[in-house]
A and B are shown apart, each in its own frame.
Chain A
């Protein structure tokens, strides 16, 4: 296991280098002079020259990338063009809001997804099964920001039950968490169903039934525990996807998390903030995937040992 963790950690190195390299090159992709871009549109010629000097933009690209990487290690993402604040100070408070939103959304999708998936699998081809799977597919086909707008219209505007925007109060969490969690719930329900159907066909489940074990026991003790292992992976991945889903959901509900930050920064052409946010979100995703792999491995191992 230790060897696996170390090997998996080593695999992260090229990915992290790649992610930072892509984010670094993003600034080069922008038409025009990077110094001008980083100094902001209102900057004077001297300021731009100063910026070029400060950031070492006269150096060859590989040099620039290495110093960029060096700065990242000390959490130095540069400064905002708009406010001159260090980017990390702008990101930090918003980071936790996005994480909190993602946690609530994953709870929503797990609760609905597992419940629906189990019903669907245990009553395969029943009316309930077909209904659940159709609803899940519609959930997958819906733009989550549109779902958010519709929920906002009915629950906030029409019925006045919940606030339309903001973050902090528990009532402000409900609609965004449902908005983001719906697609995840659909994916988890589909995965739970197919994984359980696979396990139900296994010999040991048939043996358990033949022994006369009660159906409820068969489902919960023999099937569910094993069927949930691949589902864990899907849940972990969903958490990662919620980090990018937050971009749209936070925009709809005016939540001041990282997602809304990156959208605002793009329209203000505040590229250091855009770059910093994208790096943080991508690295979080890489980290979550790493954890999910380890957990998956651990769970699988327990089964092997049993």
Chain B
């Protein structure tokens, strides 16, 4: 069947204009939500730091200076120096890109596989759904960082194994919500109608189902970045993540822990950096959720 005949002539415009309207309300809602703006600003700030770190860092992140170990914060070393005499401020600046890299990459990989599994599961149903959902159940049966810990302990400690482990950890999260949304959208009358008119599965999924489930995915992805950054920091703290001398914030906390008695500044500053960046993603995620929630259309 020719595609132009199945689309009513007024169709594309109406769809486009409602979509535009939806984006309009969404953006208005988002801007109204001051906390979401604060979150976005924090994230933007850390991206700027991540890109500019090599130019703005006052010292090299790995230059050791054994004459200058355990220096408290001063004009020369804003956040003090660590047990190797390295400038903590410069290390935190350089660590920003690592943290964002881990968070964004593990969520992106996890989301791609999770969306694929969720759409297939929700769209085809039957035994495919049963099998995929049982796999998801099993992956979710490992609480918190336990699954990531198991994977990293088998693969060996490294930054990339942490990303692999956290990607696997993110897959079931996305598979679940995408499946639920797909089921909802698939039952809509117009989707049934297009299918009855003979549109291919791929076309229905790409043009009608995916655009409809984008918003829950974006909200979840934002919040999962926060969770993944925290988990990665935890794994690094246990010595299973980025290996020295990488200026990874979790690993810096692990270093600082041994010198808590006399030099707490080694532990304080990387922790604050983690809290801030995670708070940014949590604020933005919460704000996006509120802005996209149809019940909040006042």
A-side residues, CB < 8 A to B, are 14-15, 18-19, 21-23, 26-27, 29-31, 137-138, 140-143, 145-146, 149-150, 152-153, 157, 240-241, 243-245, 247-248, 251-252, 262-263, 266-267, 271, 274, 278, 281-282, 285-286
For B135, the chain A residues whose CB sits under 8 A away are 18
Q: Are B237 and A262 in contact (CB under 8 A)?
A: no
CB distance from B45 to the nearest CB of A (A): 15
For A282, the chain B residues whose CB sits under 8 A away are 141-143, 146
Return the contact of A285 from the options B142, B149, B151 (Cβ within 8 A): B142
Q: Are B240 and A141 in contact (CB under 8 A)?
A: no
Return the contact of B238 from the options A21, A157, A251 (Cβ within 8 A): A251
CB distance from B173 to the nearest CB of A (A): 14
Q: Are A247 and B238 in contact (CB under 8 A)?
A: yes
Return the contact of A157 from the options B139, B143, B261 (Cβ within 8 A): B261
Q: Given A245-B144, A282-B142, answer yes or no on A146-B271 (Cβ-Cβ < 8 Å).
A: yes
Return the contact of B274 from the options A18, A137, A143, A150 (Cβ within 8 A): A143
Q: Are A137 and B282 in contact (CB under 8 A)?
A: yes
Q: Are B261 and A146 in contact (CB under 8 A)?
A: no
Q: Given A18-B135, A18-B137, A282-B141, answer yes or no on A146-B267 (Cβ-Cβ < 8 Å).
A: yes
**Distance A150 CA – B268 CA, assembled complex (angstroms):** 7
B226 CB-CB contact with A under 8 Å? yes
Q: Name the 8 nearest CB pairs between A and B, nearest first.
A: A18-B138, A244-B144, A146-B271, A29-B154, A141-B278, A141-B279, A285-B143, A244-B143
Q: Are B138 and A244 in contact (CB under 8 A)?
A: no
Q: Are A141 and B142 in contact (CB under 8 A)?
A: no
CB distance from B160 to the nearest CB of A (A): 14
B275 CB-CB contact with A under 8 Å? yes
B103 CB-CB contact with A under 8 Å? no
Residue of A nearest to B272 (CB): A146
**Distance A140 CA – B281 CA, assembled complex (angstroms):** 11
**Distance A140 CA – B226 CA, assembled complex (angstroms):** 9
For B260, the chain A residues whose CB sits under 8 A away are 149, 152-153, 157
**Distance A143 CA – B252 CA, assembled complex (angstroms):** 13
Interface residues on B, range: 35 or more
**Distance A274 CA – B146 CA, assembled complex (angstroms):** 11
**Distance A14 CA – B131 CA, assembled complex (angstroms):** 10
For A252, the chain B residues whose CB sits under 8 A away are 257
Sample of 24 A–B contacts (CB below 8 Å)? A14-B138, A18-B137, A22-B150, A23-B150, A29-B155, A31-B156, A138-B275, A140-B226, A141-B278, A142-B278, A143-B233, A143-B237, A146-B274, A149-B253, A149-B256, A157-B260, A157-B261, A240-B143, A241-B144, A243-B144, A244-B142, A248-B237, A266-B238, A285-B142
User: What DSSP secondary structure best describes chain B's contact surface?
Assistant: helix
**Distance A95 CA – B193 CA, assembled complex (angstroms):** 56
Most central of B143, B240, B257, B286 by chain A CB within 10 Å: B143
B239 CB-CB contact with A under 8 Å? yes
Q: Given A137-B286, A247-B149, A262-B149, answer yes or no on A149-B271 (Cβ-Cβ < 8 Å).
A: yes
B-side residues, CB < 8 A to A, are 134-135, 137-139, 141-146, 149-151, 153-156, 226, 230, 233-234, 237-240, 250, 253, 256-257, 260-261, 264, 267-268, 271, 274-275, 278-279, 282-283, 286
**Distance A245 CA – B141 CA, assembled complex (angstroms):** 15
Return the contact of B275 from the options A142, A152, A243, A266 (Cβ within 8 A): A142
CB distance from A262 to the nearest CB of B (A): 7
Return the contact of A15 from the options B141, B233, B256, B278 (Cβ within 8 A): B141
**Distance A267 CA – B153 CA, assembled complex (angstroms):** 9
CB distance from B102 to the nearest CB of A (A): 14
**Distance A252 CA – B238 CA, assembled complex (angstroms):** 10
CB distance from B221 to the nearest CB of A (A): 17
For B156, the chain A residues whose CB sits under 8 A away are 31
A-B contact sample (9 more), CB < 8 A, given A26-B153, A149-B257, A248-B234? A140-B282, A141-B282, A143-B234, A146-B233, A146-B267, A149-B253, A247-B146, A248-B145, A281-B142
Residue of A nearest to B270 (CB): A146
**Distance A141 CA – B223 CA, assembled complex (angstroms):** 10
Q: Are A138 and B234 in contact (CB under 8 A)?
A: no
CB distance from B192 to the nearest CB of A (A): 30
For B151, the chain A residues whose CB sits under 8 A away are 26, 29
Q: Given A248-B237, A251-B238, answer yes or no on A27-B283 (Cβ-Cβ < 8 Å).
A: no
Q: Are B141 and A285 in contact (CB under 8 A)?
A: yes
**Distance A152 CA – B259 CA, assembled complex (angstroms):** 12
**Distance A22 CA – B142 CA, assembled complex (angstroms):** 10
For B267, the chain A residues whose CB sits under 8 A away are 146, 149-150, 153
Q: Are B141 and A18 in contact (CB under 8 A)?
A: yes
For B283, the chain A residues whose CB sits under 8 A away are 137
**Distance A252 CA – B256 CA, assembled complex (angstroms):** 12
